[in-house]
Amino acid sequence: MADPLIIKICGIKTTEILETAIEAGADMVGFVHFTRSPRHASVDAIADLISQARGRVETCVLLVNPDNSSVAEFAALGPDWIQLHGPESAHRVEAIRAEAGVEIMKALPIGSAEDVGHVADFVDIADRILLDAKPPKGADRPGGLGDTFDWALLKALDPSIPFMLSGGLTPETVAEAIKTVRPFGVDVSSGVESAPGVKDKALIEAFIRNARAAV
């Protein structure tokens, strides 16, 4: 029996969209704290969203290269996960994991075979790995860009390594992604928005429906 697919809807900022994602059957919801992101949510807003979601769906706070005080501040809100989406080294991820007392998902940028080669460095360090499209030079943020990457690159990955597939997925492409890549889970942000940072109820429902149907 295959493990059930984990579906994460990322970049949720409002209680209404949180309810939509939960009712549509998401397994995990992501809250972004990165001021240059159109999905940025304040500490207080994320605290409220975590309280609303607790016990109903796994919650994930998304940070970029956080310092220790920021890790402690968000870990105190009681999320199920902290997702590290910056250039954090394996050593830094290990330190954050020891400090936070929260499960750590490490996002890794994939744009080349060399990038795939680095994934193994984090497997025993993070609790979960998320593989995202490598941002283009000059991008104003390290994720949430709606860009895909060449999934064929993942053929070189050790098949025993479970990962969340991310990067430019949409309701139209998620089924093909699942059937092609066979990830542990899928993650989406831009692909379920009507405008940057504006989540769309129907797109969220379609993404989750199509992902479930593909397994």
Ligand X SMILES: O=C(O)c1ccccc1NCC(=O)[C@H](O)[C@H](O)COP(=O)(O)O
- Tell me which residues touch ligand X (CB under 6 A): 10-11, 30, 32, 34, 37, 39, 62, 64, 85, 132, 141-147, 166-169, 187-191
Q: Which of 3, 48, 80, 132 is catalytic?
A: 132
Tokens 């295959």 identify what position? 2
Triad 196, 141, 183: Cα angle to 5°: 80
Query: What are the angstrom distances between the C-alpha of 74 and each of 82, 131, 205?
Result: 8, 23, 28
Tokens in use for 197?
């940072």
Active-site residue flag, 132 = yes
**10 catalytic per annotation:** yes
DSSP E strands in the chain: the ranges are 6-10, 28-32, 58-63, 81-84, 103-110, 128-133, 164-165, 185-188, 193-195, 198-199
Active-site annotation, residues: 10, 132
